[in-house]
Structure 1
């Protein structure tokens, strides 16, 4: 790392810029288009290089790192096919507001526009899903561009940045002045807005807090909880943000999203005040913009978001507040509490509804195979408070999000864009980042097979995450819609799966199969005790498509 300009190749300058910005891990599939970067990483022991088996997995791991740390996850891929594969994680990071930087090898500048091997215009390719897309056009500008990328990825609504790296820029040698580590400016709520918020809360009869978004830290989560408890407010989480408020707390009332509790949905409609902190209230959270109507909600809406471009974009809030979420939570904590809230029964009833909805029913004798509700209940009972749970997309996630009670922040790794395959790469990234924490991935059979090869990555790096594969021999979500629209006409949704236990063993992982609910606790304990990456296959009833929906096989 250099504080003064000296002659280095572009790869060295780039890696020095990453080190200055406190990068400790990069995820990649190596390519000849960025060999100087790989060479520079060889001499940078402070940065771990995690080589995955697929670029999509590498970008998903970078997204998971961003979710866990609040810092940009760093991913390197080669040009053309490497970039198209990695676009999966960029889309997830965009939808989930996750800070991430994707570096892509690019053809020599003199070859551009000639149809060079694997040439792609990345500004066009990623322009609609990344916060910023650029291509470095000179060696001397590498520190400037990297610093700007960190600033954009972490500012306002966080998100992904894509940087193309022409091969001759990386191999070339020049003098470049290193830029200092990026410092961010944070917006804070003004006193007038806070006073109006306090007044509106005091006047409410049926208030509801909806928490979501990214940019929370432990201090902010704790401050929000103190405000909520003092004022006896009910709190709902936006889609797949359940870990932002302890689900065991008597003020937590459930998640808004796929599989939302009907009584919670009705409660949102009946609320006279919504305090929305961090969430964009996107389609899934708002149930297709029906619970909260656009452009003018029926409820009084206080909408807090760090990005001014999000406020007023879909919903016209009665009180919009631009603020960093940590700064807002700390400001809330300093507000005077309501003298005697008139909504205590409203909160208590909402909590009772949540407890009833999230309590698994007694084990069913009608099911053929493992009762997934009992599996999730067991995980909820035995996992420590800071255990990380990851998942991709599929109906199996409804059981997890309904019956598992998240207990602390940065424990839910789940893509709001519904990306299949996300769970296993995310779990591996979580375990590599913090080996002491328990990490469990739930994946459907279709979801798991998207990135099954990443078990090799887990074994290579000793990432002893446990993946639970829910095997019902179908793409369950699509089958559910199929049964609704075209009953009994199965088309394209049946799966012929491999022997998952043999597959796990082939990678060097612990693996076992569970066919009866009663056998799961012992199997899970054995997986934990193995000290290895582990795969537990659950044979589940193909007729049980959701916790409440069955159909004929």
Structure 2
């Protein structure tokens, strides 16, 4: 058994069924071992390394198991690094295997050599460099275990070419070990419960650990027992059903007017399984000095940003269950009435047609497009959204009802949607998968649609084309009007023709009333991706308005 075979044997022993790659001569023995294991482990050939790591990241979000990607040294690894960065900030388990220069060339600035611990250390949980063939299996098992331990995240495994080519002898393949649960401290739980009992208007901000730990029921029970409202952290809207009585909406890059108003009332903030990211916390300005904070998270470092009164360094699900049992009093009527009023405001804000300020000006009404998508898709459908101004309409008007159905780079990386749809569709073969992407994001990784064609995956891409980098152009317009929009307006190709050239089905949508039939046709496609080229108006800047003046 050589090092490459030991790696693949370890993946199989740990239940890995899918991997993503761009091939390279630095890991040929790994590719051969994957070929021999092709009936047990599906290898997806991507067209760019960022596509491989984005797809692996989405697959990991869907399964709560490590996403697996393989790339070659130097340029291949740096291309893949955007997926590592995404997995780090999104707390997603991912293992990236990097073929490297032979070990005798290391440290000499060899062809395509990189110092991976220095380059990738800040965006991973660990960089593991393997220097002996007989250590490959143990390093692979360590990476898989580390990716899911505590706060999940990415691990990079660096494999010199001679290490995967070399003889590993009769090395033992490590058995899969269950993830260790981090139980909460009983005294700390009691202190948190006292704060909750004493609060007037507590609000929970739920984050990534809800999905990773499948803590949805625990979150719902805790919110009901405490009478607390629940806000989803940035792009975590699938942690609680949209119409659940505790749901108070989503904290995105800015707060909605009703959220700004109710936040002034909140005296206790419960950060539930969310790292204190800058988007959710509004540039770290959200938490006030007069608010008490309880923070539940499996990584101590997160507490430096939230300065909690009570810090529970533990897994979320057992912490919420312990808190629910420890509460001493039922929520007051005033707390429940306050929450009910805020929930009604959340529902109203997500209802199309009630906000004249946000009215679209173009022939395609983005509000109506998302409203129809909300009506048309099954409750377990998965949306995979890129970053861009168009995403604001999805965040505002789409109603998530089922756990683990929202896939997005909370990091804000463009180019996520199409490769992410590949990962989501492979993990959820029986669910509708719809990718939403702007023209700018598609032009970064849209070629991955041909990967979907080769893999016979029936996901649908909704491509919103406004001929500009909308988010940046909006900031420019707000500062200086149309004349300030510089370096952001671009030409677009015929995206429908491009998709057809890749082998996908495609339609063009130029008016709102054309969207329903086109969507039906796209969703009816079997065995290949489909794309709707939706031509939007650059005057429609965002979902909250105001829009660009004529």
- Partners in 2 of 1:461 and 1:219 — Cα distance? 29
Question: Does the 8 Å contact 2:222/2:321 carry over to 1?
Answer: no
C-alpha distance after superposition, 1:353-393 (max 9, x if no partner): 11121111179997222101111111111211111101111
- How far apart are 1:527 and its partner, in Å? 0.6
Matched, 1:34 2:30: no
Correspondence for 2:200 among 179, 202, 205: 205
Distance 1:340 1:479 in 2: 46
SS of residue paired to 1:538: strand
| Whole-Å separation in 1 of the counterparts to 2:168 and 2:218 | 49
Q: Deviations over 1:226-269 (max 9, x none)?
A: 22224332110111111111111121011112242122133234
**Counterpart pick for 1:305 among 293, 297, 310:** 297
Contact kept, 8 Å, 2:233 with 2:280, in 1: the verdict is: yes
Q: Distance in 2 between matches of 1:41 and 1:330?
A: 42
Which of 541, 546, 549 does residue 549 from structure 1 map onto? 546
Q: Is the contact between residue 210 and residue 239 of structure 2 (CA under 8 Å) also seen in structure 1?
A: no
Cα distance in 2, alignment partners of residues 192 and 36 from structure 1 = 53
3-state DSSP of counterpart to 2:215: helix
- Is the partner of 2:402 in helix, strand or coil? coil
- Give the RMSD, CA atoms, in angstroms: 1.7
Q: 2:335 aligns with which of 309, 330, 343?
A: 343
Contact 2:127 2:157 in 1 (8 A): yes
**In structure 1, what is the equivalent of residue 513 of structure 2?**
518
Asked whether the equivalents of residues 276 and 302 of structure 2 are also in contact (C-alpha less than 8 Å), the reply is no
- Within the candidate set 476, 484, 488, 1:493 is matched to 488
In the alignment, is residue 195 of structure 1 matched against residue 186 of structure 2? Answer: no
Which residue number in structure 1 is paired with residue 350 of structure 2? Answer: 358
Does residue 265 of structure 1 match 2:239?
Answer: no
| 2:44 is the alignment partner of 1:50 | yes
Secondary structure class of the residue paired with 2:123: coil
TM-score by length of 1: 0.95
What corresponds to 1:23 in structure 2? Answer: 16
Q: Deviations over 1:199-229 (max 9, x none)?
A: 2222111111110023635752112212222
Taking the aligned partners of 1:309 and 1:340, their CA distance within structure 2 comes to 32
Question: Which deviates further from its counterpart, 85-94 or 17-26?
Answer: 17-26
SS at the partner of 2:162? helix
For residues 189 and 107 of structure 2, what CA distance do their matches in structure 1 show? 54
For residue 83 of structure 1, the aligned residue among 58, 68, 77 is 77
Unaligned runs of 5+ in 2: none
Matches within 5 A, 1:13-412: 13-44=6-37, 45-175=39-169, 176-214=171-209, 216=211, 220-293=215-288, 297-311=289-303, 313-336=304-327, 338-341=329-332, 342-361=334-353, 367-412=361-406
Tell me by how many angstroms 1:516 deviates: 1.1
Secondary structure of the residue that 2:498 maps to in structure 1?
A: helix
Alignment partner, residue 535 of structure 1: 531
Aligned length: 542
The separation in 1 between residues aligned to 2:408 and 2:274, in whole angstroms, is 15
Whole-angstrom distance in 1 between the partners of 2:318 and 2:211: 10
Q: Secondary structure in 1 aligned to 2:211? A: coil
Query: Residue in 1 aligned with 2:419?
Result: 425
- SS of the aligned residue for 1:115 comes to coil
What do residues 328-371 of structure 1 show as CA deviations (whole Å, max 9, x unaligned)? 23334434573342301210111121112111117999722210
Q: Secondary structure at the match of 1:369?
A: coil
Shift of 1:479: 0.5
Which structure has the highest helix share of the two? 2
Where has structure 1 moved over 6 Å in runs of 4 or more? Answer: 362-366
Post-superposition CA distance 1:469-507 (Å, at most 9, x none): 111111101101111233223311111111011111111
- Preserved CA contact (<8 Å) 1:432 1:461: no
Query: Which of 2, 11, 22 is the aligned partner of 2:4?
Result: 11
